[in-house]
Amino acid sequence: GAVVSQHPSWVICKSGTSVKIECRSLDFQATTMFWYRQFPKQSLMLMATSNEGSKATYEQGVEKDKFLINHASLTLSTLTVTSAHPEDSSFYICSADRGNYNEQFFGPGTRLTVL
């Protein structure tokens, strides 16, 4: 149990376009979902925390108008990178918490490349 999927697994887009990444908890209801960004050989950087039906909480330095997060249901959260630029190229990973003792389950990640 506790499987999290993420789609797409990789995406290449042109500068200025928007990209949507989906994160789904497949066999449990996630009270909270988290979006991370990871650069090569670096740790996970928390971008935002999202709770179903409410606005996401963004970490300091993360532009909420650029990284739109929607948590429409207990099993789905989406991250939209708007007007993407090459510096947005990164590995984006979501995780979900099933409300049980802080344990987080990670999606497989999305490799975004902006040309």
Partner 1 sequence: GENVEQHPSTLSVQEGDSAVIKCTYSDSASNYFPWYKQELGKRPQLIIDIRSNVGEKKDQRIAVTLNKTAKHFSLHITETQPEDSAVYFCAASKSNYQLIWGAGTKLIIKP
Minimal distance, residue 93 CB to partner 1, in Å: 6
- φ/ψ of residue 87, rounded to 5: -70, -10
- If the CB atoms of residues 46 and 82 are measured against partner 1, the closer one turns out to be 46
- If the CB atoms of residues 45 and 82 are measured against partner 1, the closer one turns out to be 45
- Which two tokens mark 76? 């789905």
Count, in order, helices (H) and strands (E) of the chain: 0, 11
Contact of 81 with 14, CB cutoff 8 Å: no
Cross-strand bridge partners of residue 46: 36
Minimal distance, residue 94 CB to partner 1, in Å: 9
Helical segments of 61-111, H only: none
User: Which parts of this chain interact with partner 1 (CB under 8 A)?
Assistant: 32, 34, 41-44, 46, 49, 91, 93, 97, 101-109, 111
- If the CB atoms of residues 49 and 80 are measured against partner 1, the closer one turns out to be 49
Minimal distance, residue 25 CB to partner 1, in Å: 14
